[in-house]
Amino acid sequence: MTGEADSVANTADTLTIPGLKRPVARIALGTWAIGGWMWGGPDDRQAIATIHEALDVGIDLIDTAPVYGFGHSEEVVGEALSGGRRDRVAIATKVGLDWHDDHKPFRNTSAARINKEIEDSLRRLRTDHIDLYQVHWPDTAVPMEETARALEKLVTQGKVLALGVSNFSIPQIEEFRKFAPLSAIQPPYNLFEREIERDILPYAIRNRLAVLAYGPLCRGLLSGRMTPETKFGSDDLRGSDPKFQPPRFAQYLAAVDALRDFARERYGKSLLALAIRWVLDQGPTIALWGARKPEQIAGVRDALGWSLTEQDRKDIDAILARTVRDPVGPEFMAPPGR
């Protein structure tokens, strides 16, 4: 594909997130790895080039968070968008994770923490407003009313355009919505981690909430680049993810091999394109494409301009049932409360 066909915004469906100034493309850039923490350290030069490449292919939503590198990811995003690029994208960041001096995060959604974090994020991102501000994890130590009303105040002040929540249950979402409007939810969602299909995804469809699906490549597993010999460093979250440890790792790699063959034989596509297309075909979803090198953006275009059939989805489910006999979810990522 060449010319306009190379643009995400021109080839992929767009999605309207209530409160944002314009619809956004359904593939967004996720920046957890860019922050470096739990991903083997940062590389700012590569990160900025990655963000610029994402903009060049038409990605117009960037998702970040203060805890991604303890402010570093937001700083890199801010630097990359300086010089006139800020108006080209919507920025989604998060609030409600605090950390000690030893960089161990914990949940804190108090009004005081929110009021501090918004100013820190605005400064690091070099902007006067956040397009989508999301509660990173629910905090049972703080009344939901306090959290939601503090966030709604930021909307009335013009510092935030729209609100979202991440990793919330249905009861927690309902409680939040008693006190503030909600535009989006952000859960983990990919071919291997599908818990939201039981309740979160149907709820989002019924209530017209955008779903920002994080981890659509399951922390690189669905990139197709891993082998049984792949090792992870001490500062890599995959070292503590049960999917990447025996005996499960072999099961997931068997699924990856079968899915790679399926994508190639049925569509002439890569496994990576299949994994993203599958997420996009499930509902009002935006796939958060995590990347930290410019070349990792190239595959975005391959996920666009086609769709899976109902039979495809059934065949994919059969592959997973045959290969992944001992599945596990993303629970290991949950930070502790206070």
pLDDT, position 130: 98
- The one-letter amino acid at 99: W
Threshold 0.85, pTM exceeds: yes
CB contact at 8 A, 108 and 142: yes
Give the chain's domains with CATH numbers: 14-223+275-305 (3.20.20.100)
pLDDT of residue 199: 97
Whole-number pLDDT of residue 2: 33
**Each residue's pLDDT tens digit in the chain (338 positions)?**
333 334 554 444 789 999 999 999 999 999 988 865 555 566 888 899 999 999 999 999 999 999 888 888 999 999 999 989 999 999 999 999 998 877 788 999 999 999 999 999 999 999 999 999 999 999 999 999 999 999 999 999 999 999 999 999 999 999 999 999 999 999 999 999 999 999 999 999 999 999 999 999 998 899 888 999 998 877 777 888 889 999 999 999 999 999 999 999 999 999 999 999 999 999 999 999 988 889 888 888 889 889 999 999 999 999 999 999 999 888 766 777 76
Instruction: Classify the C-alpha dihedral 250-252-255-260 as positive or negative.
Output: negative
> Given this model, what pLDDT does residue 64 score?
95
SS (H, E, C) the chain: CCHHHHCHHHHCCEECCCCCCCCEECEEEECHHHHCCCECCCCHHHHHHHHHHHHHCCCCEEECCCCCCCCHHHHHHHHHCCCCCHHHCEEEEEECEEECCCCCEEECCCHHHHHHHHHHHHHHHCCCCEEEEEECCCCCCCCHHHHHHHHHHHHHCCCEEEEEEECCCHHHHHHHHCCCCCCEEECECCCCCCHHHCCHHHHHHHHCCEEEEECCCCCCHHHCCCCCCCCCCCCEHHHHCHHHCCCHHHHHHHHHHHHHHHHHHHHCCCHHHHHHHHHHCCCCEEEEEECCCHHHHHHHHHHCCCCCCHHHHHHHHHHHHHHCCCCCCCHHHCCCCC
pLDDT at residue 7, rounded to an integer: 52
Tokens of 141: 């130590």
Q: Which letter, b or e, does each residue of 40-49 get, where b requires 16 or more Cβ atoms within 10 Å of its Cβ?
A: bebbeebbbb
Question: Counting Cβ atoms within 10 Å, is residue 163 exposed (0-12), middle (13-18) or buried (19+)?
Answer: buried
- Determine the pLDDT at residue 34: 84
d(CA 102, CA 304): 42
CB 263 within 8 A of CB 273: yes
Residue matched to tokens 């299949």: 274
The amino acid present at 107, given as its one-letter code, is R
Q: What is the pLDDT of residue 35?
A: 67
**Residues forming the active site:** 68
